[in-house]
A = this chain, B = another copy of it.
């Protein structure tokens, strides 16, 4: 979409990915494809992989290497307890921000 989305994704993309993982386990390539399908048309592959490495290092997800019939083995990520806790925090923060924004939008009309 453009620069605006890119900047807005900073700080939210992590939550988005964790939210996806809260529903089901998934691997990088899959997540990227899904996001592109959902309208984040120009999400960069590298971005997702780097993000996954980050959340893994922070201990928010568990990883399992699963062989694929169509290429190299997949690194399947799943949200663990710590990750769920973090995701809760994320939603709280998001709600706060979204609330302020909504208020501003109303007031601005």
Contacts and interface: CB of A to CB of B under 8 A. Distances in A.
Contacts of A72: none
Interface string A11-34: 110111001101100000000000
A104 B20 contact: yes
Interface size class of A (residues with CB under 8 A): 35 or more
A7 interface: yes
Contacts of A104: 16, 19-20
A7 B12 CA distance: 8
A8 B108 CA distance: 22
Contact of A96 (B5, B10, B19, B23): B5
A46 B98 CA distance: 24
Interface string A51-91: 00000000000000000000000000000000000000111
A16 B101 contact: yes
